[in-house]
Structure 1
Amino acid sequence: MISTPIGAKSLTINFFINTMNLILETDRLFLRELKLSDAEAMFDMDRNPNVHQYLWNKPTKNIDETIAIIESVRNQYIQNNIGRFAMILKETNELIGWAGLKYNTEIVNNKVHFYDIGYRLNEIFWGKGYASEASFAWLDYGFNEMKIKIMQAAAHTANIASNKILQKIGMIQTEQYLEDNISWNWYELKNPNI
């Protein structure tokens, strides 16, 4: 168990590591690896056009796409020892979205080989603080356990909710950039322990 002050908030995280199994626990959530058995719940989230409004408006069309995404994330666990994790609501044991760290090997904002923090929620769980709660846990884990020097993130400029979440967890907007003629805000946060 780790108890770490982040900003004005104190966050307690329980974590367990087995072979390739990491679980973070917050007050309301379990954050665990994505599994193929999560495909139906993820497809339900990702086929919703509202969820993809600020993601190039490309909702998932069939469950096979979702399965391919989960397999890709699971490969990231093996290649990079990290990736996006399922966000499980403790109260109901249901998958409500995903959150986590990703080691980026593709060019984003003219940058490559960096860690970013991200999240996505099923629309019915928006506005309840779950993305912030999960992100605080991932920042804590990334900075204290993985010793990441700088965390990065991007949010569509018009996505007010996502920008507020990144600001709430302490990320600082350092620039704006265009990708496919879409404006994005770029955020960074240096590890306060290094």
Structure 2
Amino acid sequence: MGLEVPRAHATVGAVILETDDAVDDIRIDFTSGWRAFLQAKRTLRHDAVLKKAVAQWIAAARMPLDPRTDRLVIVAGDLSGPMRSLQRVLNRRRMPVSGAPTVEEGKQLSKVEAYLGGLSPQQRELVLQCAVIWELAVEEPHETGALQAIACLREFVAGKGRKARIKLGRR
């Protein structure tokens, strides 16, 4: 799991913080042309935090989005069970052939679709194709995500005579 950007396309060209984009926390531009628009949250549950994040997805639907190269990402250090279900169903929707959602996945997807109710059916589908939920524990220095980020930053800062790559794609 992660940004759901294929590894071959996941070389970071730029990281922009607090952007003027509809999804405004972080934008990652990849050298391949892929883009990821991130909202960072400590925890994600089906509550006002999710509803506010989805409101940014609604605004993003009004900008040019391409589900082949754009991701609308909510990254959180901790996901509730229902948000893990939403994560799975969103990821499955991007597969060329996928099975039906579980009851819980369908329930969570229906709630998000209701939040997207102000969009046309085409815009709603576009947002759902771009949407990603990413669990990334980085708050405590001993957490795996934090250790990986520190290693990437060390490589980037040190340079070691080669172009550093921060791999944020699929595992």
Q: Considering Cα pairs closer than 8 Å and 6+ residues apart, tell me whether 1 or 2 has the greater RCO.
A: 2
Scaled by the length of structure 2, the TM-score of the pair is 0.31
Higher strand residue share: 1
Structure with more of its chain in helix, by fraction: 2
